Structures are given as structure tokens and as C-alpha cells.
Structure 1
Amino acid sequence: MEKVIQTINEEHKGERLDKVLSSVNNEWSRSQVQLWMQEGNVVVNGQKVKSSYKCSVGDVIEISIPDPEELDVVPETMDLEIFYEDSDVLVVNKPKGMVVHPAPGHTTGTLVNGLMAHCKDLSGINGVLRPGIVHRIDKDTSGLLMVAKNDLAHESLVNQLVAKTVTRKYQAIVHGVIPHDYGTIDAPLARDPKDRQSMTVVDNGKHAVTHFQVMERFKDFTLVECQLETGRTHQIRVHMKYIGFPLAGDPKYGPRKTLDIGGQALHAGVLGFNHPRTNEYLEFEAPVPEYFVELLEFLRNNR
């Protein structure tokens, strides 16, 4: 069990303890902190307190973080669409609606379950729940992912992501008609303090840059190609909302009245990287899924 100690300063004087703790660490949700407090894993000056406890300057908070739950991830045979595979790396086209990796309470039906049945050699850097996973896309986003089959490949691909040399292009359908043909959104992202399950633009967030190009305009929508310079959680979805053109179908960041397509219209269509062993540049392109094609036809017929 990991122990973390925080001392309350003037900035957090008078604030609720659960709010303070969820704000100092982006990985801790407010509900997670409240659960730890109910279980007695958070003490203030050596005493157990309620989550509504109001902090005072100098309070010493000790958080005992429970060890992560050990989960048995079972291989599941799936009809995966493999675009490329060798002894080091694999490129797979993830369908809309599939979760990338298991989590507590959701241990089956994920891409990782399918990958474990497809091949036995996946890198172990991310542990039992995320073997081979170098980067992720959201459940309702379709498209290409690179998977590392050994630790050498994993480290190389992660380093390429950090160096911003990986090509990642997405197609998206957004609300509204974007008047300009090109644009760059440079706006830092972090957890929304009002909703820890969402991201938002904040001054002290992590650097995030999205480039976009208009591909086609419709009556009330626009088809764009977005290229990631950085890869923050929900980056395209939040950035397009930030400039006033949220993704169609997006239940989290879209308008209340949007298209009923089972999630955001977003497809990771182009993925390029240097092979971790040969350094040869490889690039792959996956066509948009059928629902995306049908939506485009609908929009073209209703200009």
C-alpha cells in the first residue's frame, strides 16, 4: 500500500478535503477519494475525518492508497482487423464501441482480450491490464492503434510519441460550418474540476495542439481531418468544442441535441511511425467505417 502525505497551504484553506485531494492529483477522482475516506485510508493530523471536512492551513493529510486490484485478464478469440504484424509490432483497426483495455468492473470484450488470444507475445511494460498498449483511442472512436509485442518495441514507440514524430490523422464530423479551411488549436488540457470524468481547457493544463483541415462542408456540419501534435485524453473532442464546433454524436462534449449515432463521429484513419527495429517509416490508412459513410451520404443529400 502506497502512502502519500500532503500539507494544506493557504490556497486550500476552508475547502472540502475531498475536493482538495482530487485537485492535487489528476489521477484521483473525487468519488475515489471519498471511497478511500469511507474505508479509513485518509487521515488528517492522525485522525479520521469525513469527506466534508474543511481544511486548515498546516493540516497534514496522510493518504494510504490501496494496492490495485489484481485482475485475471482472459484471452478471447475475436475477429480482429490486423493491418500489419511482425515480431515487434502490430497495427490493428479498432471498431467503434470496443474498449481498448480492461479496467476494474470491465474485464472482458476489450481489445486487449482479443490481442491476448491473437498473439502470445505482448510487451509487459504497462502490466497485466494493458499488455502491448502504447496509446489509446476512446471506446466510441474507431481506427488504427499500434501495439508493441516486446519491451524494445514499446520503448521505441513511446519515445516516438513523446518526440511527436508519430503521424496520427483523424476524420471527424463536427456541428456547424467552419468558415476557414485550415486551423491550429493550441490550448492546454486538464481534468475538469467540476467533472473529473471530463477534460477541459485550463491555463495550467498540459500542452495540447491539434491541427485541422476542412475536407467538406454541409448544411449544418463539417467534415474535418485533424492531425494530433500531442495526444491528450479526449483532445480532439475538447479542442473542437473549444472553438465552437463540437463533434457530432458526442454525448460528453457535444450539444444536447446531436445526431443519434452511438457516440462521437471520429475515426483514426492514418497512423505512421518508424519501425522500432529497422527504423523504416511505415504508414497505414484505414477507411472510415460503414456508419460514417452512411452519415456522410445523409449529409450530402440534405445540403
Structure 2
Amino acid sequence: MSYGADFSTNHRAQEFFQGIVGKHLRRPEQRESFATYAFGILGDGERKSVEPIAARAFSDPEDVQRCHDRLLYFIRDSPWSDRDVRRAAARYVVDAMQEHEPVTVWIIDDTGFLKQGKNSVGVKRQYTGSAGKITNCQIGVSLCVSNRKEQVPIDFELYLPDDWTDDPQRRKAARIPEERAFKTKPELALDMIGRAKADGIPGDIVLADAGYGDSSSFRAALRGHGLDYAVAIKSPTRFWLLGMNDEVERVVSAEEFGLDHFEGRSFPGWNHHVSVVLCCYAFVVVERMRHFFPSARRQA
């Protein structure tokens, strides 16, 4: 078995994926599959989906097929909590970031997952900054946290256009939960902000582009959460100038971890894939800080 960069034998990787995160997976086979999938995402290879991960993990065709089937079930059908796994990863990386610099900024953004066809959950011809045009894609709304040196995504929500949420057949085929109604992108962002506040994630100011800043209800909700904000607005939006802020909005991408490589079509599968990617991102950020940040004692 080979994963390129040998994360499978890294003690901290084992502790993180099978312990810190793995304890939120009830069964041993879930923890094993989670680790295999994560090490595949962290390892070599251009594609980070089930088939190529299985092919890189084993050389024997029968072993590859068994691994493929096991990972496919884990991502698409296995019942585990994305919320619990993402919370554990967020606390892990935020605690490490706080040792160096306070986490003060939350960044709301969205990214496009370019798709062919019309059966992947949430897919539609819509604008995405990833392509700079209207194209066939899914849209994921992200929440990142940041200090002066690092930023990391801790949560994602898949935007479901109303021609998905209002279509019973499409909902059933994509296994969209019954309780999931249509929500705008700012509403999805506020859901994530509410979860982060409930989880005790530190942060003082929210940054977002005009897709969110133009919403007066979004801005009011941020104030209701006790958060300041620095958001872009479009030219017709009226505002009152109270002062200047030198915060610069920063863009984060988890593309190198295969964020947009999920090849399934279901809502649970998309969320499971994104959860593993977020955990991988958190782990790598913490490892980078361990290797490249001077200790507080050396700074003194």
C-alpha cells in the first residue's frame, strides 16, 4: 500500500484521523475507511475520488475492488455525522492557530464545482467566480477562520436552487433531507455562523463579498451575533460611512485536496466528501504550523 507522502505511518496523522476525528465514527470499519480516504486525499495523484484512491492504495485488482466498494459505501451511504466530524477538526486547528495568533476573522465565500450533466445534487447553470461566468456547476458556501498568519475552512453548505428543493423526484433521487428547504446563500452562511458561535469558535469580524454584503438581513444577523463585519456592496446599495477598515478580504481554496473531485450525485455523499477534505485541510495547516512557526520562547 502506498500513499505517496506516507501519512499512513505518521503518528500524528493516525492520532488525528483515527482518534480525534475517528472517535466520532461509531464503528471500526468507519474509522478505517475514513483514514483510508483521508490518506488518499493527502497523498499523490491528480484525482481525489473513490476510484483513483482505491487504485493507488492497492496493487492487486481484487483488493482494489474491495477497497473501492468499501469507500464508496462509506462516502455515499454510511451513517455518520458531518457536524460532529467537522466540529472536531475545527477545534483541533483553531486551538493550534490560537497558540500563535488569536483567531479574529471569519470569511464567508462561495466556490463553484464544475459539472457535466444535470443529475449531481444542486447542479444548475449559474454564475460562479471559479469560472468567471455562468456555467453548469454546484455552488458551495464556505466559512473560513483566520488569524494574521493562517486561514482554514471549517464548514461548507451546498446551495440548492429552488428547482431542486421544489422537485420531489429530484429530492428523492439525490436523498435531500426532508427538513432541507430552499435557502439563499446568505441564509446558508448564517447557518454556519450560528453553528460556529454555538461551538465556541473565536472570531470578531466577518468578511464577505457583495453577494452577502448587499443583504441587510445578513448584516443585521451578524450584529445580532455580536460580530462586526467588513463586506463589499454593489453600487446601488445605500450606506452610511462611519470609518475606514484596513482588513483585506482573502480567498481560500481547498482545491488541492480534491474539494471538487466528488463524483457522486447525492446530498449525503457530497457532504461526507467535503467533511473529509475539511479534516485533511485542518491537519495540514496544523502540521505546517508545527514545522514553520517559531515557538513563543524563540520569538521572545
Q: Output the TM-score relative to the length of structure 1.
A: 0.31
**Higher RCO (CA-CA < 8 Å; seq separation 6+):** 2
Structure 1 or 2: larger strand share?
1
Instruction: Look at both structures and tell me which one has the larger radius of gyration over its CA atoms.
Output: 1
